[in-house]
Amino acid sequence: MMDAINKRVSYDIGCMKSLRKLPDKVALRFMDMMTRYMSDPSSNGLNLETVEGAKDSSIKSLRVDQGYRAIAFEVARDIMFVHVNEHDKAYRWAGNRRVKLDPDTNRIRVVEELDVTVVETEPQGAEEPRLFSTVTDKRLKALGVPAEEMPAVRALTSIEGLETAEEGFDPLTYQILYALAAGYSDEEVYALTGVPEETETAPETPLTDLTFDQMIETAESRQTIFIPEDEKELRRVFEEGLEGWRVFLHPDQRKIAYRDYNGPAMVRGGAGTGKTVVAMHRAKHLADQIEQDLTQTGQRVLLTTFTTSLAQDIEANLRTLCPEHLAARPPRIEVINLDRWVSQFLKRKSFAREVAFFGEARDRLDQIWREVFDDHELPEGLSEPFIRAEWAQIVQAKGLMDQRAYLKVSRAGRGTPLDRRKRAALWGIFADYRARVVSEGLAEPDDAYREAIEILSSEAPNLPYAGVIVDEAQDMGEQAFRLIRAIVPEGPLGDRNSLFIVGDAHQRIYGRRASMAGCGINVRGRSKRVRLNYRTTQEIRSWAVSVLEGVSVDDLDEGSDTLKGYVSLLHGVSPELVSSTSEVEELKGVSTWIRSLPSENVRLSDIGILCARRADVDRVSAALQGDGIETVVLQAGADDRSVPGVRITTMHRAKGLEFFAVAIPFLSESAFPPPGALKSAVDAADREDILTQYRSLLHVAATRAKKALRVSWSGTPTKLINDHAPNLG
């Protein structure tokens, strides 16, 4: 007999789901027993009893209270709970179950060995069409359905029947069957379950050799099995309800987050594929390493984003995922948006100039440009907006400090060519502008980044960062990445686990662009893609993708990316595309749509109305309020969903958020892109860039919707809505 202290307890997703159906007091009692056992196994031993007549001798029952039993498998040092139910039902459930090590899917499976004759005599009637009658046994097996479950699969006649029978199936089998019933192709089912296709190369360790305690730890098993690290984590997961993602990662997500890399790594993936979740788990993994390795004491992980609101959301979620790392003194994880990090760093270094991120300081920069333009003659054929764009997109983005560098620089991507003479003339203007900015005690954000890079390179201050994780990488420019590289430079001992970069260039909405290689960050061979969309239905996703049709998108490095090969976990209704005759009618339509959403499932705070322009936000808010609908205009800072009201905000601010239902109004030709945006285009190439940016913005807005999307315009719709999008005639 093994000592109780050495037992490891785990819970499969079926156990968690069965608990949710029981009275609270039973679930609480079970939680209490299990957390007490975990905190002190020797004084709170688990009295596991053999289940008489069970097919599998490792199946055990545990008395939760007089009327309820939990069912577990006890194999060597592991106790894996799989079900909790009323006494008789629990025993009946346990009778035919077996635990199975399944090398084909690299998982622990819990299967029911059904007596075929029992299935045949079920009352559905022989003529009733079977749900999977067109799917062969061979195909089901290849997708990951174990032979033992085949009779039960064959007996199913409808999706509803499948849903009712969920508890009867192994959790992975259920996922496969559900996807098949919903019409997924085999390749899509593989993406969903993470089961490797047969053509993939065989793993190094033959999986057949794995024992139960090794098999339960695979990334695949852990898609459906939760192994708590301590009683605090167990309590958190029980208490928070089944917030699936916190514990049940997709195998690809787990493999990407929980491993070592010999250098910078990158994760790409379309909207809603759980990139931010991976970034959070990565932070936890690195912080766990810091905690366990005494030589790293005092170190921390920097998790940085482009926007403030995303940093706040991530910090709040990390407080449930790994509160101990944030509460440690000093904390083992720091979450902050990069602009803020730079400001704080420069302040500590007594940088005297004010960084013009927004507001009055930015107005002051506009004023300086006006003064400079008054004092200089513009080179022939070049406009003021062109010169300002050249400054921002070339000189500042690339950190050019002298004329020589500017004369040599590649201006790839800029439409209007500039010969040497024009460049020299322009440099005179740029140098004057820069001198005036400095003498006014101001700095542009790119100046601040450059300054910080210089300080880091020359002083090599001993920053406490063991690694940096970057979310929303697509919106960060070259200087930002040079800075990130300077925060954790490659050291004499190498570059292990230094940088972890997460992003999606399809969602680039601020016009900045950097290539990793160009910034000294080599991710070659360490670049991964996550493909399963957890947020948005297949129907909404494909509409959102159609908006980007024909646009070529980079992979945040030197290559290109595509939105092909993604799969959504959910199916639903197609987006509603609504044409109105006037904006008043359009807004009335939005009110009616809000009222038509099922109020028993959808809180007002789960509805988002997303507008291109700030001015429209207030207009929509006033109109909805006029119709008696409560609204909340989102400002900076985290969104507290317990405050009631439909959320109204800009498409930019909505980045990183998600809503059950989203409406995007004012997509008429004259309003989207807003006329002002295109007026600032300095040449044809710039105009193309702006259009792409607005396509991405619409893509971002549409992919905030989980289940329902309503897109509307009055008059003629914007050209950015693709002609062959669904429902558009």
Comparing CA positions, the residue from 503, 540, 521 lying closest to residue 276 is 503
Residue 183 counted as an annotated binding residue: no
Helix, strand, coil share of the chain (percent; to 5): 45, 15, 40
Task: Give the nearer residue to ligand ATP in terms of CB position, either 105 or 507.
Answer: 507
504 or 557: whose CB is closer to ligand ATP? 504
**Residue that the structure tokens 């290539």 belong to:** 515
Q: Fill in the per-residue mask, 615 to 654: x = in contact with ligand ATP (CB under 6 A), - = not in contact.
A: ----------------------------------------
Shortest separation between residue 28's beta carbon and ligand ATP, angstroms? 25
CB of 222 to ligand ATP, least distance (A): 10
Q: How far is the CB of 118 from ligand ATP (least distance, A)?
A: 34
Q: Is 319 in the site for ligand ATP (CB under 6 A)?
A: no
Return the number of the residue (273 or 393) whose C-beta is nearest ligand ATP.
273
* Close Cβ partners of 488 (under 8 Å, ≥ 6 residues apart): 463, 465, 466, 467, 468, 498, 499
DSSP state of 208: G
Residue 263: Cβ within 10 Å count:
17
Q: Which stretch binds ligand ATP (CB under 6 A): 34-42, 273-281, 404-412, 483-491?
A: 273-281
Give me the least distance between CB of 224 and ligand ATP, in Å please: 11
Q: What are phi and psi of 47, to 5 degrees?
A: -95, 85
Residue 108 · residue 101 · CB < 8 Å? yes
Closest CA to 430 of 368, 523, 364, 518: 368
Q: Which residues contact 250 (CB under 8 A, 6 or more apart)?
A: 194, 223, 274, 530, 532
* Closer of 654 and 663 to ligand ATP (Cβ): 654
Q: Which of residues 195-254 bind ligand ATP (CB under 6 A)?
A: 244-245, 248-250, 253
- Give the shortest CB-50-to-ligand ATP separation in angstroms: 35
269 is in an annotated binding site: yes
555 is a site residue for ligand ATP (CB under 6 A): no
Minimum separation from the CB atom of position 80 to ligand ATP (A): 20
Helix (H, G, I), strand (E, B) or coil at 4: helix
Cross-strand partners of 567: 532
273 is in an annotated binding site: yes
Structure tokens at 87: 């006494």
Is 658 a binding residue for ligand ATP by CB under 6 A? The answer is yes
Which CB, 325 or 706, lies closer to ligand ATP? 706
Q: Does 276 bind ligand ATP (CB under 6 A)?
A: yes
Q: Copy the structure tokens of residue 656.
A: 């990183």
Strand order in the sheet with 705-714: 576-580, 705-714, 659-664, 607-611, 646-650, 631-633
x/- track of binding to ligand ATP for residues 13-32 (CB under 6 A): --------------------
Confirm or reject binding of residue 537 to ligand ATP (CB under 6 A): no
Binding mask 487-506 for ligand ATP (x = CB under 6 A): -----------------x--
What are the residues facing 11 on neighbouring strands? Answer: 81, 226
In the region spanning residues 691 to 720, those forming contacts with ligand ATP, defined by CB under 6 A, are 703
The nearer residue to ligand ATP, 703 or 712, going by C-beta atoms, is 703
Nearer to ligand ATP, 313 or 583 (CB): 313
In Å, the largest CA–CA distance within the chain is 95
**Is 308 assigned a ligand-binding role in the annotation?**
no
194 binds ligand ATP (CB under 6 A): no
State in angstroms the smallest separation of the CB of 172 from ligand ATP: 14
Instruction: For the CB of residue 164, give the shortest distance to ligand ATP in the complex, in Å.
Output: 23
Residue 614 exposure: Cα atoms within 13 Å on the Cβ side: 4
Instruction: For residue 444, give every residue at least 6 positions away whose Cβ sits within 8 Å of its Cβ, in sequence order, or none.
Output: 355, 356, 365, 396, 437
Member of 194, 272, 379, 717 binding ligand ATP (CB under 6 A): 272
Q: Do the Cβ atoms of 597 and 710 come closer than 8 Å?
A: no
- What distance in Å separates the CA atoms of residue 471 and residue 321, rounded to the nearest whole number? 17
Rounded to a whole number of angstroms, the minimum distance from the CB of residue 333 to ligand ATP is 17
Nearest-approach distance from CB 507 to ligand ATP, in angstroms: 6
Angstrom distance (rounded) from CA 173 to CA 153: 9
What character string, x for contact with ligand ATP (CB under 6 A) and - otherwise, covers 244-263? xx--xxx--x----------
Name the 3-class secondary structure at 279. Answer: helix
Cα–Cα distance, 176 to 135 (Å, whole number): 12
- Both structure tokens of 430: 């740029």
By CB under 6 A, residue 541 contacts ligand ATP: no
Closest distance of CB 533 from ligand ATP, Å: 8
Q: Which is nearer to ligand ATP, 701 or 725 (CB)?
A: 701
Is 556 within 8 Å of 501 (Cβ atoms)?
yes
Q: Is the peptide bond before 330 cis (omega within 30 degrees of 0)?
A: yes
* Residue of 219, 234, 265, 277 interacting with ligand ATP (CB under 6 A): 277
CA distance 679 to 698: 19
Least Å distance, CB 253 to ligand ATP, is 6
Residue bearing tokens 């710039």:
686
Beta carbon nearer to ligand ATP, 646 or 701: 701
d(CA 94, CA 76): 19
Count of residues interacting with ligand ATP (CB under 6 A): 21
**CB nearer ligand ATP, residue 274 or residue 717:** 274
Q: Does 656 help bind ligand ATP (rule: CB under 6 A)?
A: yes
Contact range with ligand ATP by CB under 6 A, out of 26-34, 112-120, 171-179, 270-278: 270-278
Chain mean position to CA 306: 15
Contact flag: residue 543 with ligand ATP (CB under 6 A): no
SS3 151: helix
In the complex, minimum distance from the CB of residue 278 to ligand ATP, in angstroms, rounded to a whole number: 7
Cβ pair 112, 96 in contact under 8 A = yes
272 assigned binding-site residue? yes
Residue 535 is a binding residue for ligand ATP (CB under 6 A)? yes
| CB distance 258 to 299 below 8 Å | no
Listed ranges 265-273, 324-332, 345-353, 475-483: which one lies at the site for ligand ATP (CB under 6 A): 265-273
The residue within the footprint of ligand ATP, chosen from 251, 274, 467, 645 (CB under 6 A), is: 274
Q: Considering only residues 54, 179, 271, 702, which one is a binding residue for ligand ATP as defined by CB under 6 A?
A: 271
For residues 452 to 471, the per-residue mask of contacts with ligand ATP, x marking binding by CB under 6 A and - elsewhere, is --------------------
Rounded Cα gap, residues 418 and 27, in angstroms? 71
Distance CA 376, CA 426 (A): 10
Report whether 271 belongs to an annotated binding site.
Answer: yes
The answer to whether the Cα torsion of 365, 653, 306, 320 is positive or negative is positive
- Determine the angle formed by the axes of helices 614-626 and 583-596, rounding to 10 degrees: 60
Distance of CA 283 to the CA centre of its chain: 14
| Nearest distance from C-beta of residue 1 to ligand ATP, angstroms | 37
Q: Does the annotation place 305 within a ligand binding site?
A: no
Work out whether 269 is an interface residue with ligand ATP (CB under 6 A).
Answer: yes
Considering the complex, what minimum distance in angstroms separates the CB of residue 383 from ligand ATP? 36
> What tokens were used for 493?
């001992």
Residues in contact with ligand ATP by CB under 6 A are 244-245, 248-250, 253, 269, 271-277, 504, 507, 534-535, 656, 658, 703
**Residues placed in the known binding site:** 269-276
Task: Cite the annotated binding site for ATP by residue number.
Answer: 269-276
